[in-house]
Amino acid sequence: MTSSTHRFRSWLPRVAAVAAALVGLVNIASALTPNIRWRGHLLLGFEPVEAMRLFHALALPAGMALLLVAPYLAKRRRRAWQAAVGLMLALGAFDLLKGLDFEETLLTWSVAAILLGGRQGFRVRHDAITLRSAVWRVPLLGGAGLALAALAIRVSQGHPSWSSVIGETDDLLRWQSGPIQFHRHLSWIPLGVHLLELGTLAAIAYVIFRPLAAPRSLPSPTAREAAAALVKAHGSDTLSFFKLRADQHYHFSADGQAFVGYRIENGVLLLSGDPVGSAAAVPALLGELKAFAESRGLKLGAVGASERLAGVYEQLGLKTLYLGDEAIIELDRFSLEGRPIRKVRQSVTRLAKAGYTSELRELRDLDAETIAEIEDVLERGRHGAPERGFSMAMDSLTGENGHETLVVLARDEAGRIKGALHFVPCYGRPTMSLSFMRRDPETPNGLTEFMVARAAERLKERGLNEMSLNFAAFAKWIHSPHKRHERVLGKLVALGNPFFQIESLYRFNAKFFPRWEPRYLVYEGPFGLPRAGIAAMWAEGQLPKPTLRRLTTA
């Protein structure tokens, strides 16, 4: 599918929504105004005046229904498209039969024809309407709304006859004045009935046009085993192992040769890094995933995507934005010798003289007491802040695949664990990726540098070539901007350092002279960047996610 086709399909639903609302307003106005006299006389030769009145009456609710459907057209709902086309075809006929309103018919049927031609732009699927869903919910909602309106009128008037209550309710629901007069403290009743009517209609529209629900349950043990097998066979990317977090959903390619880890945030199906699997299966998987998200009313996005897949995303009509750089230490080149790295060397020397030592251990070899001591350090190292991470960190030290990970431990002179680095493997290449980096808050400054330097030495001794240290957001804009706007953006990013430690993290990584590899944020649509950006910050824990409980306690 070409990029021009993607653009056409992206703006068509919004244009269709505006056009449908315009058609609805035109038809409402036409239904509320008298017919052109000569057309009415001409029409009387074909149908009785009672039929003309009937079609006038039908045109008003049909026009209002079209207004109700219009917002769901903008959301690409397939059922809304079907309803809009049906309403427009009926409205065009009503316009002819109520007063030979050729202009309204031409406008209405022209928009219907455009919608029919652009049917492929409305791909959001829906839960089936069954006896367990809308078939009983719609009558129940409508009946409840009518009952509440009638009850309010009856109670407010001292229990009048039901015939007068039903008549007054009918008049108010048609936005007309009825025979009952509401005085003083009861003057709100008509407005209340109107609001109740609108609320009921909105609830019915939600039931009918709600999209197909995305999976809510986390992957089964079988799916987790399949994902772990693909990571072990193809997980050479430094972020691949992090897809084995317990809080990620999975979507596998049709042939089972590739998968993605994702989370749904802010209406975005947000991928964690790149897909994992056979290179030949990845483009088809992303295409399937795009259709999967679209059919559920979601936008597709990714955080931590690599540069090599940018072209594939662009072919799918998605956009990429530079997000930052991953710092990768090349272990065969790393050394504490030389003037440029003297500050790290001084920290290592000072901590060693203070009695601190380091050791590299496989997590599977540690006893329960040692693991509990490490987890205590990890907990205290957070300073009470919530746990962060989604695409570039694990959710726990001891998960289902934690036995394949390594830890570098820093012990004080008494042998107590005071700091820990947690590393996960990159299969198919001699590389490890840092997951956790924490120290006891009461330890001396420089302990983190001590642990990183010792980790580089220990991993090199183990025969590894690279160590993925950390991710520095917008690092290029801070350390090597090429254009004026990048310099400006770098200064703006630095302003957020007190809240997100952006510049601090870059400067820490830069101490070890790493190789910088760019990572990207992938988003969909011309206005999708803020939406995907918020989704990414929620998923990574960089921005508190508002909840009803938080709002009520604020």
- With a CB cutoff of 8 Å and minimum separation 6, the contacts of 148 are 196
DSSP state of 210: P
Rounded to 5°, the CA angle 387-388-390 comes to: 130
Q: How far is CA 550 from CA 422, 536, 545, in A?
A: 32, 20, 9
What does the pLDDT read at residue 143? 58
* pLDDT band, very low/low/confident/very high, at 554 (cuts 50, 70, 90): very low
d(CA 298, CA 268) in angstroms, rounded, equals: 5
pLDDT for position 233: 94
pLDDT for position 77: 81
Mean pLDDT calculated for residue range 188-211: 60
Mean pLDDT of 275-282: 94
Q: Which two tokens stand for residue 54?
A: 């009937």
Of 435, 383, 41, which Cα lies nearest the Cα of 242? 435
Q: Would the pLDDT of 37 be above 70?
A: no
343 alpha-carbon distance from chain centroid:
42
Between CA 468 and CA 304 the distance in angstroms is 14
The more confidently predicted of residues 196 and 537 is: 537
Span 144-187, pLDDT tens digits: 555 655 665 555 555 666 666 666 666 666 666 666 655 554 45
Give residue 269's pLDDT. Answer: 94
Phi, psi (degrees; rounded to nearest 5) at 329 = -85, 125
What pLDDT, on a 0 to 100 scale, did the predictor assign at position 550? Answer: 45
431, 468 Cβ separation under 8 angstroms: yes
50-56: long-range contacts at Cβ-Cβ below 8 A with a sequence spacing of 24 or more? 51/97, 52/97, 52/98, 52/99, 55/94, 55/97, 55/98, 56/31, 56/98, 56/99
User: How confident is the model over 393-410, as a mean pLDDT?
Assistant: 89
| 474 Ramachandran zone, left/alpha/beta (phi>0; psi -120 to 50) | left
d(CA 127, CA 214): 11
Structure confidence at residue 173 (pLDDT): 60
The residues, ordered by sequence, that sit 6+ positions from 491 with a Cβ below 8 Å of its Cβ are none
Mean pLDDT, residues 111-132 taken together: 72
Fold of 326-520: Aminopeptidase (3.40.630)
pLDDT band, residue 75 (cuts 50/70/90)? confident
pLDDT at residue 228 in the model: 94
Q: Which amino acid is at 69?
A: V
Over the stretch 334-382, which tens digit does the pLDDT of each residue have? 999 999 999 999 999 999 999 999 999 999 999 999 999 999 999 988 8
Inter-residue contact 419 to 411 (CB < 8 Å): no
- Same topology for domains 221-324+541-553 and 326-520, yes or no? yes
User: Average per-residue pLDDT in the chain?
Assistant: 81
- Share of residues in the chain with pLDDT > 90 (%): 40
**For the residues 188-213, what does the mean pLDDT come to?**
60
Q: Which two tokens stand for residue 154?
A: 């009856």
CATH class entry, domain 221-324+541-553: alpha beta
Q: Where are the domains of the chain?
A: 3-121, 134-209, 221-324+541-553, 326-520
CB-based burial of residue 27 (10 Å sphere; 0-12 exposed, 13-18 middle, 19+ buried)?
A: buried
The reported pLDDT for the residue numbered 366 is 93
| Beta pairing class for 299-306 and 515-524 | antiparallel
The per-residue pLDDT for range 149-160, each reduced to its tens digit, is 566 555 555 566
Model pLDDT, residue 522: 95
pLDDT for the residue 181:
59
Report pLDDT digits (tens) over 10-32.
678 888 889 888 988 887 787 76
Span 501-528, mean pLDDT? 88
Both tokens of 487, joined, read: 């310099």
Give the pLDDT confidence score for residue 45 in this predicted structure.
Answer: 52
Q: Please give the biggest Cα pair distance in the chain.
A: 108
Query: Per-residue pLDDT for 103 more than 60?
Result: yes
Residue 439 contacts residue 381 (beta carbons within 8 Å)? yes
Contact indicator for 389, 335 with CB cutoff of 8 Å: no
- Tokens 């006893």 identify what position? 367
